[in-house]
Structure 1
Amino acid sequence: MKLYLRALLLILFCSKASFALAPDEQQSALTIVRVPHISRQAQHVEYIHKLLELALNKTEAEFGPYQIQYHDTETLPERQLKGLEEGEQVNVTFSHAKARWDNAAIRVPFPLVKGLGSVRFFFTLPKHLPALATVSSLKDFYQFSQGQGLGWSTATILESNNFRVVYGSRYVGMFVMLEADRFDLLMRSAFELLGEQEHLRTQHPSITYDPHTAMFTFLPMYFYVSDTQPELATRLEKGLKSAFKSGEFDKLFNQYFKEAVQFALSPSVRAHWISNFNVTTEQFYEVKPYLLPALANKIEPNLAPKS
């Protein structure tokens, strides 16, 4: 039913556009892109915004001019999803893969950070470092409670694997809760951790991390587009793949994530596989050409066989 509705919307859009506008007018129609405000103490949000502009620029000749409107107040994940479903205040956002979002919006099948979020490190307090250093398998992580924000994709991963999860409502509050010993570990990607640690040194100096102990899974980050604008999803997919082919995507990615890639894929990292039920094996092969090769080679042997 979901696929049928998406196809119907696309047909109606194309029909309406062709009858309402002459070819020259179609080219000049302005695409309004409405993006929620997401506040993080790391540079990946800035990167995503630049990548969005790049994808839109690459497709301007085919789809026409655009205007991006950024909200100026923080939008929680559940509110972002509701905004996508309504398609008025928000029509594009980004997130690590979530099965629920796949059923409520259009997932653009291109991994925005090459799957780099698949390796997960942990902020913690100094008293937990000795225990973290002895972790030798996934089951050893069960001794720790895990902090997560409401609506985070990693919360679903942890809950599905029967971990003890303690929830906080807002991003900044997670660090306050960790420092207050409300939970033991706060899972972060390499690029989040490296950016956030600079902030924590002054705001939450008791928080630390183990650079050698991690979990890993298949956790791509995608653009999600409102079902009401399937043509925008098509435009972004074309733009991203065009930027990848031209080398512009890699150039932008390396400007922001070179250090994080080295950190995540360091030979000294002991990364233990955890299954992610938000994604399918088919999704992996759909986006494999755009993943970090070393990471794809690490993930692939752990996936269920293709159906």
Structure 2
Amino acid sequence: MRLQVIKTVRKGAILFLVVALSGVSLADSDTAEGEALVIRYPVLGEEYGQTRPNYFLELLTLALDKAGEEYVLHPVTLSNFRESRSVMSVAKGVYDIHWMNTNKTRETVLRPVRVPLFKGLIGWRLLMIRSGDEDRFADMRDLEPLRNLKTVQGHDWPDSAILESNGLRVIRTPHWEGMFKMLYAGRVDYFPRSVVEVWKEQSVFSGLNLAVDQHVALVYPSAYYFFVRRNNTRLAEAIERGLLAAIEDGSFDRVLMAHFGESLERARLNERTLIHLENPLMTPETPLDRPELWYRP
């Protein structure tokens, strides 16, 4: 009999559960009513994957607690990560859930829980630039000046297609660290980063002498969702029920502000020129008509 120690969260308490894997399959996590949900999630080895996991796990446990579910959280360690690969990993049952930026393909292959985990802030983009270029963007009022410049995005990020569809010149690369080095080296002119991540990334790459533009913000509808397998109805419904309860009682916003309130205050979004972009990747099912799900400065 082979034993595995699993870090467990069950109704808010931290426990350790010893699971006998002989005759028991953790891959069968589409559990019946009355059984504890066994939820496997990815733990990523590279720096990109380590920037926000605590936030997502805190929201996940909050949702499951609000839904009144018994559950076990089981980490699955990955040596590398691409979002497109993670879509297939969830679909094939390598793990049960992942948090990802949505697009039409992902919503077709997997089942999204359509409650935006950043309340849309993933689509509020500040421009990371080289120190010394701060005045270059000071008088910008629309996208036209950016169309003459080059930017960089992840090879399989939905944001790459969003920026390209709005007429911007995007260089795609699979290497997260390399994007910041490309900016530093002058191969691109700016790097749009979400308000919830730009300040931390500037700190991580402090040796590259990068700055954050203080004048404009690119804004487009965008959502990070929890994604599960299409047939994992119980898990999807429990998470949605719990997230909506947390939004209603204010606990969702308390988690959001605990993690990102300082960044939002620093960004001064209501003092910036807001340049709105279209997002052709959003599906008709996106709950844009529900203002309680979206951040407004």
TM over 0.5: yes
Decide whether the 8 Å contact of 1:105 with 1:226 is kept in 2: yes
2:57 counterpart SS class: helix
TM-score of the pair, normalised by structure 1:
0.79
* RMSD, aligned α-carbons: 2.4
Over the matched positions of the two proteins, sequence identity in percent amounts to: 24
- Provide the secondary structure at the position in 1 that maps to 2:109: coil
**Letter paired with 1:241:** L
Of the three residues 26, 31, 43, the one matched with 2:38 is 31
| Partner-residue secondary structure (3-state), 1:49 | helix
| Cα distance, 1:280 vs structure 2 | 4.4
CA distance in 2, matches of 1:210, 1:285: 28
- 2:238 is paired with a residue whose SS is helix
Return the letter of the residue paired with 2:97: V
Report 1:219-298 matches (<5 A): 219-280=222-283, 283-292=286-295, 294-295=296-297
- The alpha carbon displacement at 1:264 in A equals 4.3
One of 93, 97, 116 as aligned partner of 2:102: 97
The structure richer in helix per residue is: 1
- Which residue of structure 1 lines up, in the alignment, with residue 17 of structure 2? none
Q: Which residue number in structure 2 is paired with residue 301 of structure 1?
A: none
Which residue of structure 1 aligns with residue 9 of structure 2? Answer: none
Q: Secondary structure at the match of 2:217?
A: strand
Which one of 149, 154, 159 corresponds to residue 154 of structure 2? 149
Give CA deviations for 1:47-87 in whole Å, capped at 9, x if unaligned: 1121112112223x4x432223242533111111111221x
Amino acid at match of 1:34: Y
SS of 1:103 mapped into structure 2: helix
Aligned partner letter, 1:93: H
Deviation at 1:286, TM superposition (A): 4.9
**1:68 equivalent in alignment to 2:71:** no
Per-residue Cα deviation, 1:129-150 (whole angstroms, up to 9, x for no partner): 3332232211221011110111
Relative to total residues, which structure has the larger strand share, 1 or 2?
Answer: 2
State the Cα deviation string for residues 187-222 of structure 1 (Å, max 9, x = none): 101111111111222x322x2221212211111221
In structure 1, the partner of 2:208 is 204
Partner of residue 48, structure 2: 40
**SS class of match (1:93):** strand
Alignment match, 2:64: 56
Q: Using a 3 Å threshold, how does the CA distance of structure 1 residues 70 and 53 change in structure 2: closer, same or farther?
A: farther
Work out whether residues 150 and 168 of structure 2, in 8 Å CA contact, stay in contact via their aligned partners in 1.
yes
Residues 103 and 177 (structure 1), Cα distance of their counterparts in 2 relative to 1, 3 Å cut: same
CA distance in 1, matches of 2:174, 2:75: 26
Task: Give the secondary structure class of the aligned counterpart of 1:267.
Answer: helix
**1:6 match:** none
Aligned with 2:177: secondary structure?
helix
CA distance in 2, matches of 1:268, 1:95: 29
Partner residue of 2:175? 170
Which residue number in structure 1 is paired with residue 84 of structure 2? 78
Which 5+ residue runs of structure 1 have no aligned equivalent? 1-12, 18-25, 296-307
Structure 2 unaligned runs (5+)? 1-28
1:112 is matched with which residue?
117
Aligned length: 268
Aligned residue for 1:40, secondary structure, equals helix
Match for residue 217 of structure 2? Answer: 214
Structure-2-length-normalised TM-score: 0.81
- For each residue in 1:1-43, what CA deviation from the matched residue of structure 2 results, as whole angstroms up to 9, or x when unmatched? xxxxxxxxxxxx99x94xxxxxxxx423442333352743985
- Contact 1:76–1:170 (CA under 8 A) maintained in structure 2: no
Does the residue aligned with 2:269 lie in a helix, a strand or coil?
A: coil
Match of 2:186, as an amino acid? D
CA distance in 2, matches of 1:288, 1:280: 17
Counterpart-to-counterpart distance in 2, 1:122 and 1:172: 16
Matched, 1:139 2:144: yes
1:35 maps to amino acid: P
How many Å separate the matches in 2 of 1:35 and 1:125? 33
Q: How far apart, CA to CA, are the structure 1 residues paired with 2:188 and 2:88?
A: 29
Letter in 1 for 2:234: E
Deviations 1:98-153 (A, max 9, x none): 22211111110101111112211111224543332232211221011110111112
In structure 2, what is the Cα distance between the partners aligned to 1:233 and 1:225?
Answer: 7
> Deviation string for 1:247-285 (max 9, x for gaps)?
221221111111222344533211111101111465243
